[in-house]
Amino acid sequence: MALWAVGGLLSLLGAFCYAELTTSYPQSGGDYAYFNRAYGRWLGFIFGWGQLTVVLTASIASMAYVFADYSAKLWPLSDSGKVGVAIASVILLSLINALGMAFGKTTQNILTVAKVLGILLIVAAGMSATEVSAAGPTNPAGTASLGMAMVFVLYAYGGWNDTAFVAAEVQNGTRNLPRALIFGIAGITAIYLVINWVLLAVLGFDSLRATFTPAADVLSLAFGSWGSKMISSIIMISSLGAMNGTMLTGSRVYAELGKDYQALRWLGSWNSARRAPISALAAQAIVIVFMILAVGTQVGKNLIDQALGLVFLDPIPWDKYFGGFDTLVAASAPIFWMFFLLTGIAIFVLRFKEPNIERPFRIPFYPMPALAFCGMCVYMLYSSVAYAQTLALFACLPLTFGFPLFLLEKYLRKGAD
Protein backbone atom coordinates (compact mmCIF):
# COMPACT_ATOMS: atom_id res chain seq x y z
CA MET A 1 0.00 0.00 0.00
CA ALA A 2 2.89 2.36 0.78
CA LEU A 3 4.47 1.67 -2.62
CA TRP A 4 1.22 2.48 -4.42
CA ALA A 5 1.02 5.74 -2.46
CA VAL A 6 4.66 6.55 -3.33
CA GLY A 7 3.93 5.81 -6.99
CA GLY A 8 1.09 8.31 -6.90
CA LEU A 9 3.33 10.91 -5.21
CA LEU A 10 6.08 10.50 -7.83
CA SER A 11 3.50 10.80 -10.61
CA LEU A 12 2.17 13.94 -8.95
CA LEU A 13 5.66 15.45 -8.99
CA GLY A 14 5.78 14.73 -12.71
CA ALA A 15 2.35 16.33 -13.11
CA PHE A 16 3.70 19.52 -11.51
CA CYS A 17 6.44 19.59 -14.18
CA TYR A 18 4.00 19.04 -17.03
CA ALA A 19 1.54 21.57 -15.60
CA GLU A 20 4.23 24.26 -15.81
CA LEU A 21 5.23 23.25 -19.33
CA THR A 22 1.69 22.96 -20.73
CA THR A 23 0.61 26.34 -19.38
CA SER A 24 3.84 28.08 -20.43
CA TYR A 25 3.81 26.58 -23.95
CA PRO A 26 0.16 25.72 -24.76
CA GLN A 27 0.82 24.05 -28.12
CA SER A 28 -0.38 20.72 -29.49
CA GLY A 29 2.40 18.17 -29.54
CA GLY A 30 3.44 18.56 -25.89
CA ASP A 31 7.02 17.40 -25.42
CA TYR A 32 7.68 18.00 -29.12
CA ALA A 33 7.26 21.74 -28.58
CA TYR A 34 9.34 21.71 -25.37
CA PHE A 35 12.21 19.84 -27.03
CA ASN A 36 12.27 22.28 -29.94
CA ARG A 37 12.71 25.17 -27.54
CA ALA A 38 15.03 23.52 -25.01
CA TYR A 39 17.38 21.47 -27.20
CA GLY A 40 16.80 22.51 -30.79
CA ARG A 41 14.71 21.32 -33.72
CA TRP A 42 16.76 18.14 -34.23
CA LEU A 43 15.69 16.61 -30.92
CA GLY A 44 12.11 17.78 -31.34
CA PHE A 45 12.09 15.96 -34.68
CA ILE A 46 13.58 12.78 -33.17
CA PHE A 47 10.99 12.90 -30.38
CA GLY A 48 8.07 13.18 -32.79
CA TRP A 49 9.51 10.46 -35.01
CA GLY A 50 10.09 8.24 -31.96
CA GLN A 51 6.48 8.61 -30.82
CA LEU A 52 5.26 7.46 -34.24
CA THR A 53 7.71 4.61 -34.77
CA VAL A 54 8.20 3.35 -31.20
CA VAL A 55 6.66 4.83 -28.08
CA LEU A 56 2.98 5.64 -28.58
CA THR A 57 2.40 3.06 -31.29
CA ALA A 58 3.94 0.30 -29.17
CA SER A 59 1.76 1.34 -26.25
CA ILE A 60 -1.38 1.14 -28.38
CA ALA A 61 -0.31 -2.19 -29.89
CA SER A 62 0.34 -3.65 -26.42
CA MET A 63 -3.13 -2.59 -25.27
CA ALA A 64 -4.61 -4.14 -28.41
CA TYR A 65 -3.04 -7.43 -27.33
CA VAL A 66 -4.58 -7.05 -23.87
CA PHE A 67 -7.98 -6.57 -25.52
CA ALA A 68 -7.43 -9.66 -27.67
CA ASP A 69 -6.12 -11.82 -24.81
CA TYR A 70 -9.16 -11.13 -22.65
CA SER A 71 -11.49 -11.54 -25.63
CA ALA A 72 -10.18 -15.11 -25.76
CA LYS A 73 -11.53 -15.65 -22.23
CA LEU A 74 -15.02 -14.90 -23.49
CA TRP A 75 -14.84 -16.54 -26.93
CA PRO A 76 -12.52 -19.31 -28.15
CA LEU A 77 -9.70 -17.74 -30.17
CA SER A 78 -6.57 -19.23 -31.69
CA ASP A 79 -3.28 -17.31 -31.65
CA SER A 80 -3.94 -16.06 -35.17
CA GLY A 81 -7.47 -15.16 -34.07
CA LYS A 82 -6.05 -12.99 -31.28
CA VAL A 83 -3.84 -11.18 -33.79
CA GLY A 84 -6.90 -10.56 -35.96
CA VAL A 85 -8.93 -9.20 -33.02
CA ALA A 86 -6.06 -6.91 -32.00
CA ILE A 87 -5.78 -5.51 -35.51
CA ALA A 88 -9.56 -5.08 -35.79
CA SER A 89 -9.67 -3.04 -32.57
CA VAL A 90 -6.94 -0.72 -33.91
CA ILE A 91 -8.75 -0.16 -37.21
CA LEU A 92 -12.11 0.44 -35.52
CA LEU A 93 -10.79 3.04 -33.06
CA SER A 94 -8.75 4.74 -35.79
CA LEU A 95 -11.91 5.14 -37.88
CA ILE A 96 -13.80 6.56 -34.89
CA ASN A 97 -11.07 9.16 -34.30
CA ALA A 98 -11.02 9.96 -38.03
CA LEU A 99 -14.65 11.09 -37.64
CA GLY A 100 -13.35 13.99 -35.57
CA MET A 101 -12.36 15.28 -32.15
CA ALA A 102 -15.97 15.17 -30.93
CA PHE A 103 -16.35 11.48 -31.78
CA GLY A 104 -12.99 10.55 -30.26
CA LYS A 105 -13.70 12.53 -27.10
CA THR A 106 -17.20 11.08 -26.71
CA THR A 107 -15.86 7.54 -27.17
CA GLN A 108 -13.19 8.23 -24.55
CA ASN A 109 -15.76 9.56 -22.07
CA ILE A 110 -18.01 6.51 -22.55
CA LEU A 111 -15.11 4.08 -22.08
CA THR A 112 -13.88 5.97 -19.01
CA VAL A 113 -17.32 5.89 -17.36
CA ALA A 114 -17.59 2.17 -18.11
CA LYS A 115 -14.13 1.61 -16.65
CA VAL A 116 -14.97 3.47 -13.42
CA LEU A 117 -18.20 1.47 -13.09
CA GLY A 118 -16.12 -1.69 -13.46
CA ILE A 119 -13.79 -0.56 -10.70
CA LEU A 120 -16.77 0.14 -8.44
CA LEU A 121 -18.00 -3.37 -9.24
CA ILE A 122 -14.72 -4.84 -8.00
CA VAL A 123 -14.99 -2.81 -4.78
CA ALA A 124 -18.62 -3.88 -4.29
CA ALA A 125 -17.68 -7.51 -4.95
CA GLY A 126 -14.92 -7.27 -2.39
CA MET A 127 -17.25 -5.89 0.24
CA SER A 128 -19.79 -8.67 -0.40
CA ALA A 129 -17.15 -11.42 -0.25
CA THR A 130 -16.72 -11.61 3.49
CA GLU A 131 -14.51 -14.70 3.79
CA VAL A 132 -10.78 -14.49 3.23
CA SER A 133 -9.59 -16.87 0.50
CA ALA A 134 -7.13 -19.63 1.31
CA ALA A 135 -3.67 -19.19 -0.09
CA GLY A 136 -2.81 -21.07 -3.26
CA PRO A 137 0.54 -22.10 -4.75
CA THR A 138 -0.11 -20.75 -8.28
CA ASN A 139 2.53 -18.03 -8.19
CA PRO A 140 5.30 -18.79 -5.69
CA ALA A 141 6.94 -15.61 -4.47
CA GLY A 142 10.57 -15.02 -5.34
CA THR A 143 13.08 -12.64 -3.79
CA ALA A 144 11.42 -9.43 -2.65
CA SER A 145 12.52 -6.33 -4.55
CA LEU A 146 11.22 -2.86 -3.81
CA GLY A 147 12.87 -1.57 -6.97
CA MET A 148 11.16 -4.04 -9.28
CA ALA A 149 7.85 -3.39 -7.52
CA MET A 150 8.20 0.33 -8.31
CA VAL A 151 8.85 -0.48 -11.99
CA PHE A 152 5.40 -2.06 -12.27
CA VAL A 153 3.68 0.46 -10.00
CA LEU A 154 4.92 3.40 -12.09
CA TYR A 155 3.97 1.61 -15.30
CA ALA A 156 0.43 1.31 -13.94
CA TYR A 157 0.36 5.08 -13.36
CA GLY A 158 1.70 5.85 -16.85
CA GLY A 159 -0.19 7.80 -19.52
CA TRP A 160 -1.14 10.98 -17.67
CA ASN A 161 1.57 12.95 -19.53
CA ASP A 162 -0.27 12.47 -22.84
CA THR A 163 -2.54 15.34 -21.76
CA ALA A 164 0.19 17.70 -22.98
CA PHE A 165 -0.25 16.52 -26.58
CA VAL A 166 -3.64 18.27 -26.91
CA ALA A 167 -2.79 21.40 -24.90
CA ALA A 168 -3.82 23.76 -27.70
CA GLU A 169 -7.27 22.16 -27.96
CA VAL A 170 -8.17 22.41 -24.25
CA GLN A 171 -10.54 25.24 -23.43
CA ASN A 172 -9.12 27.63 -20.81
CA GLY A 173 -5.99 25.47 -20.71
CA THR A 174 -4.07 27.58 -18.19
CA ARG A 175 -6.68 26.63 -15.59
CA ASN A 176 -7.99 23.25 -16.81
CA LEU A 177 -4.70 21.53 -17.73
CA PRO A 178 -3.14 21.76 -14.25
CA ARG A 179 -6.46 20.68 -12.74
CA ALA A 180 -6.71 17.70 -15.10
CA LEU A 181 -3.15 16.60 -14.32
CA ILE A 182 -3.13 17.12 -10.56
CA PHE A 183 -6.68 16.09 -9.67
CA GLY A 184 -6.56 13.27 -12.21
CA ILE A 185 -3.49 11.71 -10.62
CA ALA A 186 -4.90 12.26 -7.13
CA GLY A 187 -8.05 10.40 -8.21
CA ILE A 188 -6.09 7.56 -9.79
CA THR A 189 -3.99 7.20 -6.64
CA ALA A 190 -7.12 6.96 -4.52
CA ILE A 191 -8.59 4.32 -6.87
CA TYR A 192 -5.43 2.20 -6.77
CA LEU A 193 -5.28 2.38 -2.98
CA VAL A 194 -8.95 1.38 -2.63
CA ILE A 195 -8.56 -1.51 -5.10
CA ASN A 196 -5.49 -2.86 -3.30
CA TRP A 197 -7.18 -2.47 0.09
CA VAL A 198 -10.11 -4.56 -1.20
CA LEU A 199 -7.78 -7.22 -2.60
CA LEU A 200 -5.88 -7.45 0.68
CA ALA A 201 -9.05 -7.53 2.76
CA VAL A 202 -10.70 -10.30 0.73
CA LEU A 203 -7.78 -12.49 -0.35
CA GLY A 204 -5.33 -11.92 2.46
CA PHE A 205 -1.65 -11.15 1.89
CA ASP A 206 -0.48 -14.71 1.20
CA SER A 207 -3.24 -15.42 -1.33
CA LEU A 208 -2.75 -12.05 -3.00
CA ARG A 209 0.95 -12.68 -3.62
CA ALA A 210 0.19 -16.22 -4.82
CA THR A 211 -2.25 -15.38 -7.63
CA PHE A 212 -1.85 -13.96 -11.13
CA THR A 213 -5.50 -12.80 -11.28
CA PRO A 214 -6.44 -11.19 -7.94
CA ALA A 215 -9.41 -9.17 -9.25
CA ALA A 216 -10.87 -12.26 -10.92
CA ASP A 217 -10.46 -14.18 -7.65
CA VAL A 218 -12.40 -11.51 -5.76
CA LEU A 219 -15.21 -11.48 -8.31
CA SER A 220 -15.31 -15.29 -8.31
CA LEU A 221 -15.84 -15.28 -4.55
CA ALA A 222 -18.71 -12.83 -4.94
CA PHE A 223 -20.33 -13.99 -8.19
CA GLY A 224 -19.05 -17.50 -8.86
CA SER A 225 -18.13 -18.51 -12.41
CA TRP A 226 -19.44 -15.22 -13.79
CA GLY A 227 -16.65 -13.42 -11.98
CA SER A 228 -14.00 -14.30 -14.56
CA LYS A 229 -16.21 -13.14 -17.43
CA MET A 230 -17.03 -9.90 -15.65
CA ILE A 231 -13.40 -9.01 -14.97
CA SER A 232 -12.46 -9.93 -18.55
CA SER A 233 -15.08 -7.51 -19.85
CA ILE A 234 -13.85 -4.77 -17.53
CA ILE A 235 -10.24 -5.19 -18.66
CA MET A 236 -11.32 -5.20 -22.33
CA ILE A 237 -13.12 -1.89 -21.80
CA SER A 238 -10.11 -0.49 -19.95
CA SER A 239 -7.72 -1.46 -22.76
CA LEU A 240 -9.98 0.12 -25.39
CA GLY A 241 -10.02 3.32 -23.34
CA ALA A 242 -6.23 3.36 -23.14
CA MET A 243 -5.94 2.74 -26.89
CA ASN A 244 -8.45 5.42 -27.83
CA GLY A 245 -6.95 8.06 -25.57
CA THR A 246 -3.44 7.45 -26.90
CA MET A 247 -4.65 7.47 -30.52
CA LEU A 248 -6.46 10.76 -29.94
CA THR A 249 -3.49 12.50 -28.34
CA GLY A 250 -0.66 10.84 -30.28
CA SER A 251 -2.03 11.74 -33.71
CA ARG A 252 -1.70 15.42 -32.74
CA VAL A 253 2.06 14.96 -32.23
CA TYR A 254 2.54 13.51 -35.70
CA ALA A 255 0.37 16.26 -37.21
CA GLU A 256 2.59 18.92 -35.61
CA LEU A 257 5.63 17.14 -37.01
CA GLY A 258 4.08 17.17 -40.47
CA LYS A 259 3.29 20.88 -40.29
CA ASP A 260 6.90 21.75 -39.45
CA TYR A 261 8.85 19.46 -41.79
CA GLN A 262 8.62 19.23 -45.55
CA ALA A 263 9.77 15.59 -45.65
CA LEU A 264 6.77 14.61 -43.50
CA ARG A 265 4.33 17.24 -44.74
CA TRP A 266 1.69 14.63 -45.52
CA LEU A 267 1.36 13.90 -41.79
CA GLY A 268 0.12 17.44 -41.19
CA SER A 269 -3.03 17.02 -43.30
CA TRP A 270 -6.15 17.88 -41.25
CA ASN A 271 -9.85 17.59 -41.97
CA SER A 272 -10.77 21.06 -40.73
CA ALA A 273 -14.49 20.32 -40.61
CA ARG A 274 -14.02 17.33 -38.32
CA ARG A 275 -10.89 18.62 -36.53
CA ALA A 276 -9.15 15.32 -37.25
CA PRO A 277 -5.56 14.70 -38.49
CA ILE A 278 -6.57 12.00 -40.97
CA SER A 279 -3.10 11.27 -42.39
CA ALA A 280 -1.52 11.07 -38.96
CA LEU A 281 -4.20 8.64 -37.78
CA ALA A 282 -3.67 6.48 -40.87
CA ALA A 283 0.11 6.41 -40.43
CA GLN A 284 -0.31 5.56 -36.75
CA ALA A 285 -2.65 2.65 -37.56
CA ILE A 286 -0.24 1.24 -40.16
CA VAL A 287 2.70 1.25 -37.73
CA ILE A 288 0.60 -0.35 -34.98
CA VAL A 289 -0.61 -3.14 -37.27
CA PHE A 290 2.99 -3.78 -38.34
CA MET A 291 4.05 -4.09 -34.68
CA ILE A 292 1.21 -6.49 -33.88
CA LEU A 293 2.20 -8.71 -36.80
CA ALA A 294 5.93 -8.43 -35.98
CA VAL A 295 5.72 -9.77 -32.43
CA GLY A 296 2.51 -11.81 -32.72
CA THR A 297 3.29 -14.06 -35.68
CA GLN A 298 6.10 -16.52 -36.26
CA VAL A 299 6.82 -14.93 -39.63
CA GLY A 300 7.30 -11.55 -37.96
CA LYS A 301 9.59 -12.95 -35.29
CA ASN A 302 11.70 -14.77 -37.90
CA LEU A 303 12.11 -11.58 -39.91
CA ILE A 304 13.27 -9.65 -36.84
CA ASP A 305 15.78 -12.37 -35.91
CA GLN A 306 17.08 -12.44 -39.50
CA ALA A 307 17.52 -8.66 -39.44
CA LEU A 308 19.51 -8.91 -36.19
CA GLY A 309 21.62 -11.66 -37.73
CA LEU A 310 22.61 -9.35 -40.58
CA VAL A 311 24.38 -7.12 -38.02
CA PHE A 312 25.87 -10.14 -36.18
CA LEU A 313 23.49 -10.04 -33.20
CA ASP A 314 21.88 -13.03 -31.49
CA PRO A 315 18.17 -13.79 -32.00
CA ILE A 316 15.76 -12.38 -29.42
CA PRO A 317 14.81 -14.87 -26.66
CA TRP A 318 11.10 -14.51 -27.37
CA ASP A 319 10.02 -16.91 -24.59
CA LYS A 320 11.54 -14.59 -21.98
CA TYR A 321 9.12 -11.80 -22.87
CA PHE A 322 5.95 -13.92 -23.22
CA GLY A 323 4.93 -12.32 -26.54
CA GLY A 324 2.40 -9.59 -27.35
CA PHE A 325 1.92 -7.12 -24.49
CA ASP A 326 5.08 -7.93 -22.51
CA THR A 327 7.32 -7.90 -25.58
CA LEU A 328 6.15 -4.50 -26.79
CA VAL A 329 6.34 -2.94 -23.32
CA ALA A 330 9.86 -4.26 -22.74
CA ALA A 331 11.06 -3.10 -26.17
CA SER A 332 9.67 0.43 -25.99
CA ALA A 333 10.18 1.23 -22.28
CA PRO A 334 13.84 2.40 -22.57
CA ILE A 335 12.93 4.91 -25.30
CA PHE A 336 9.92 6.11 -23.30
CA TRP A 337 11.94 6.77 -20.15
CA MET A 338 14.76 8.41 -22.10
CA PHE A 339 12.34 10.98 -23.52
CA PHE A 340 10.63 11.38 -20.14
CA LEU A 341 14.00 12.19 -18.55
CA LEU A 342 14.75 14.75 -21.27
CA THR A 343 11.39 16.42 -20.56
CA GLY A 344 12.32 16.71 -16.88
CA ILE A 345 15.68 18.25 -17.76
CA ALA A 346 13.91 20.64 -20.17
CA ILE A 347 12.29 22.28 -17.13
CA PHE A 348 15.69 23.53 -15.99
CA VAL A 349 16.90 24.38 -19.51
CA LEU A 350 13.83 26.47 -20.33
CA ARG A 351 13.86 28.31 -17.02
CA PHE A 352 17.47 29.26 -17.81
CA LYS A 353 16.97 30.08 -21.51
CA GLU A 354 13.58 31.83 -21.21
CA PRO A 355 13.37 33.25 -17.67
CA ASN A 356 10.98 36.04 -18.62
CA ILE A 357 8.27 33.96 -20.29
CA GLU A 358 4.92 33.96 -18.50
CA ARG A 359 4.40 30.80 -16.46
CA PRO A 360 0.76 30.70 -15.28
CA PHE A 361 1.55 27.60 -13.22
CA ARG A 362 4.91 27.35 -11.50
CA ILE A 363 6.19 24.18 -9.84
CA PRO A 364 5.71 24.53 -6.07
CA PHE A 365 8.91 24.22 -4.01
CA TYR A 366 11.02 24.32 -7.17
CA PRO A 367 13.49 22.72 -7.90
CA MET A 368 12.91 19.73 -5.60
CA PRO A 369 9.87 18.21 -7.43
CA ALA A 370 11.66 18.51 -10.78
CA LEU A 371 14.84 16.92 -9.40
CA ALA A 372 12.85 14.05 -7.88
CA PHE A 373 11.04 13.52 -11.20
CA CYS A 374 14.35 13.36 -13.07
CA GLY A 375 15.73 10.93 -10.49
CA MET A 376 12.73 8.66 -10.99
CA CYS A 377 13.27 8.74 -14.76
CA VAL A 378 16.96 7.83 -14.41
CA TYR A 379 16.12 4.82 -12.27
CA MET A 380 13.34 3.67 -14.59
CA LEU A 381 15.58 4.08 -17.63
CA TYR A 382 18.24 1.91 -16.00
CA SER A 383 15.72 -0.74 -14.95
CA SER A 384 14.03 -0.91 -18.35
CA VAL A 385 17.34 -1.27 -20.23
CA ALA A 386 18.49 -3.99 -17.82
CA TYR A 387 15.29 -5.93 -18.48
CA ALA A 388 14.99 -5.39 -22.25
CA GLN A 389 18.67 -5.94 -23.15
CA THR A 390 18.90 -6.82 -26.87
CA LEU A 391 15.14 -6.48 -27.31
CA ALA A 392 15.63 -2.72 -26.96
CA LEU A 393 17.30 -2.80 -30.39
CA PHE A 394 13.89 -3.64 -31.85
CA ALA A 395 12.83 -0.14 -30.76
CA CYS A 396 16.14 1.66 -31.30
CA LEU A 397 16.45 0.67 -34.96
CA PRO A 398 13.39 2.57 -36.27
CA LEU A 399 14.31 5.50 -34.00
CA THR A 400 17.76 5.80 -35.61
CA PHE A 401 16.14 6.19 -39.04
CA GLY A 402 14.98 9.58 -37.80
CA PHE A 403 18.51 11.01 -37.92
CA PRO A 404 19.09 10.61 -41.68
CA LEU A 405 15.50 11.71 -42.23
CA PHE A 406 16.23 14.93 -40.33
CA LEU A 407 19.36 15.49 -42.44
CA LEU A 408 17.23 14.99 -45.56
CA GLU A 409 14.82 17.58 -44.23
CA LYS A 410 17.66 20.07 -43.73
CA TYR A 411 18.79 19.45 -47.31
CA LEU A 412 15.26 19.97 -48.66
CA ARG A 413 14.84 23.12 -46.62
CA LYS A 414 18.19 24.49 -47.78
CA GLY A 415 17.27 23.77 -51.42
CA ALA A 416 13.95 25.55 -50.99
CA ASP A 417 15.72 28.61 -49.59
> Under a CB-based contact definition with an 8 Å cutoff, are residues 295 and 320 in contact?
no
How many folded domains does the chain comprise?
Answer: 1
Inform me whether the pLDDT recorded for 141 exceeds 50: no
Q: How would DSSP label each residue in 207-225?
A: HHHT-S-HHHHHHHHHHTT
Q: Which residues pair with 264 in a beta bridge?
A: none
Q: What is the pLDDT of residue 40?
A: 94
Q: What is the pLDDT of residue 403?
A: 92
Closest C-alpha to 351, from 123, 20, 127, 23: 20
Report residue 139's pLDDT band, with 50, 70 and 90 as the boundaries. very low
Number of residues that this document lists for the chain = 417
Q: What is the pLDDT of residue 145?
A: 66
Q: How far apart are CA 368 and CA 374, in angstroms?
A: 10
Mean residue pLDDT of the chain comes to 84
Inform me whether the pLDDT recorded for 200 exceeds 70: yes
Query: What average pLDDT does this structure show over 118-126?
Result: 77
CATH number of 115's domain: 1.20.1740.10
Q: Which residues pair with 276 in a beta bridge?
A: 271
Query: What average pLDDT does this structure show over 248-274?
Result: 84
Query: What average pLDDT does this structure show over 214-219?
Result: 76
Query: What average pLDDT does this structure show over 341-364?
Result: 94
Inform me whether the pLDDT recorded for 83 exceeds 80: yes
Peptide bond just before 367 cis, omega within 30 deg: yes
- The contacts of residue 357 (CB under 8 Å, 6+ apart) are 24, 350
- The contacts of residue 84 (CB under 8 Å, 6+ apart) are none
Query: What average pLDDT does this structure show over 366-373?
Result: 94
Specify the higher pLDDT residue, 206 or 339: 339
Instruction: Write out the residue range of the structural domain in which residue 47 sits.
Output: 2-416
pLDDT digits (tens, 9 = 90+) for 178-194: 888 888 899 889 989 98
Q: How far apart are CA 108 and CA 153, in angstroms?
A: 24
Query: What average pLDDT does this structure show over 122-136?
Result: 63
- Cβ neighbours, 10 Å, residue 131: 8
CA torsion, points 298, 299, 305, 307, in degrees to nearest 10? -160
- Three-state SS for 366? coil
The separation between the first and the last C-alpha atoms of the chain, rounded to the nearest angstrom, is 59
Helices (H), 263-367: 278-296, 298-310, 325-353
Query: What average pLDDT does this structure show over 408-413?
Result: 80
| Highest-scoring range by mean pLDDT, 144-148, 159-163, 352-356 | 352-356
Query: What average pLDDT does this structure show over 406-410?
Result: 86
pLDDT digits (tens, 9 = 90+) for 273-328: 777 889 999 999 999 999 999 988 899 889 888 887 887 778 888 877 767 777 88
Report residue 204's pLDDT band, with 50, 70 and 90 as the boundaries. confident
Specify the higher pLDDT residue, 209 or 8: 8
Q: How far apart are CA 30 and CA 241, in angstroms?
A: 20
Query: What average pLDDT does this structure show over 324-333?
Result: 83
**Helices and strands: H and E segment counts in the chain:** 16, 0
- Cβ neighbours, 10 Å, residue 203: 25
Report residue 129's pLDDT band, with 50, 70 and 90 as the boundaries. low
- Lowest mean pLDDT, pick from 121-135, 307-321, 372-386: 121-135
Q: How far apart are CA 170 and CA 179, in angstroms?
A: 12
Q: Give percent above pLDDT 70 in the chain.
A: 92
- Lowest mean pLDDT, pick from 56-70, 82-96, 306-320, 334-348: 306-320
